Amino acid sequence: MMYAARNTEQILQTLRCGGEVEDEDFDAYLPPGPRLASRQYWTPVAVASLAAQWLSRAGARHVLDVGSGCGKLCVVGAIVSELAFVGLEHRLNLVRIARKLAHRFGVDDRATFRHGALVDVPFEEFDALYFYNPFGENVFAEAEHLDTNVALTPERFQDDIRLMEAVLERMPVGSRIVSYHGFGGRIPDAYELTCSERARTGTLRLWTKMRRQAQGCYWVERENTAAFRDAQDQEALSAARRPVDAIKDNVGVLAEKYVYPSQ
Ligand SMILES: C[S@@+](CC[C@H](N)C(=O)[O-])C[C@H]1O[C@@H](n2cnc3c(N)ncnc32)[C@H](O)[C@@H]1O
């Protein structure tokens, strides 16, 4: 059932009762620029709710949104669950907007935001990470960049992806990753895909770390939606390499497994 949610109290009540809130009703609490960018860059309300439900059910407690934008994922997640969210964002203007949004919805105790880069993050504080294809913008055409406030380059894409891949390898067994439109890099096969759902413009996936170390392979997520292009591992896509396994649903391929190249 769709409610005509308008003021913050109505939105809070609707979400907490498991009802649906239109993105345009929620986005009305964003300034005009981020509101316009919403469809391409921010997690839809329904998808953020689902991600928070999966993570709560999986027993997660502290979630880091890697690249939190205007805070939509963290704020909706904090409204619909008991989870604590931290958003990391390299655009200071978006950090400020996110803090205001969390305050507006009364969840600023469990949806907090840090301005900074990946190297500043104590990843060991988190048992779950969320990625809405955060590094993809580095390899998009300039016309599709959110703004010109940060330097975006293919080299930065590689650096950020490699840093995150190393973090995924270090995280303890039981850690969770949720991706929307893909994480963009290699997920060690110590992780298994435990939930997936085609949701609005992309695919939401929950990965759970089952083993301490990868068994020589990694997963690459596949998207067959056009709305937000993939920033996939070019190495894995090259003609010379073939997947050794794949996970499919009734729509298409969700992830392909590759052997790590020998050094
Ligand atoms: C596609 S948006 C997703 C925003 C938010 N997670 C959501 O789901 O609504 C990706 C965000 O990641 C941020 N970002 C990208 N690379 C980053 C980095 N290395 N460090 C911090 N933030 C980053 C971008 O500025 C952008 O706001």
The pTM assigned to this predicted structure is 0.94
Q: Which helix (H) or strand (E) holds 96?
A: helix 92-104
* Amino acid 58: pLDDT: 97
For residues 94 and 70, the answer to whether their CB atoms sit within 8 Å is yes
* Amino acid 213: pLDDT: 93
Smallest CA-to-CA distance from 164 within 211, 113, 117 is with: 117
For ligand 1, mutation pick of 66, 79, 133, 163 (most atoms within 8 Å of CB)? 66
Fold of the 23-217 domain = Rossmann fold (3.40.50)
Strand partners, 221: 255
The CA 89 to ligand 1 mean position distance, Å, reads 6
Residues of the chain with pLDDT under 50: 1-4, 227-229, 239
Smallest CA-to-CA distance from 168 within 219, 230, 229 is with: 219
* Region label for 190, one of left (φ > 0), alpha (ψ between -120 and 50) or beta (otherwise): alpha
For ligand 1, mutation pick of 41, 94, 161, 177 (most atoms within 8 Å of CB)? 41
* Amino acid 237: pLDDT: 55
Q: Does 43 contact ligand 1 (Cβ within 6 A)?
A: yes
In a 3-state reduction of DSSP, which class is residue 227?
A: coil
Q: Does 72 contact ligand 1 (Cβ within 6 A)?
A: yes
- Which residue's alpha carbon is nearest to atom 27 within ligand 1? 69
Q: Does 65 contact ligand 1 (Cβ within 6 A)?
A: yes
Taking the CA of residue 67 as reference, the ligand 1 atom at the shortest distance is: 12
* Amino acid 133: pLDDT: 94
Token pair 């396994």 is at which residue? Answer: 245
Tell me the two tokens of residue 191: 């992780």
* Amino acid 4: pLDDT: 45
Token pair 């609490």 is at which residue? Answer: 29
* Amino acid 261: pLDDT: 85
Q: What share of the chain is helix, strand, coil (3-state, %, to 5)?
A: 35, 25, 40
What would the pLDDT profile of 134-184 be if each residue is shown by its tens digit?
999 998 888 888 999 999 999 999 999 999 999 999 999 999 999 999 999
What distance in Å separates the CA atoms of residue 150 and residue 115, rounded to the nearest whole number?
12
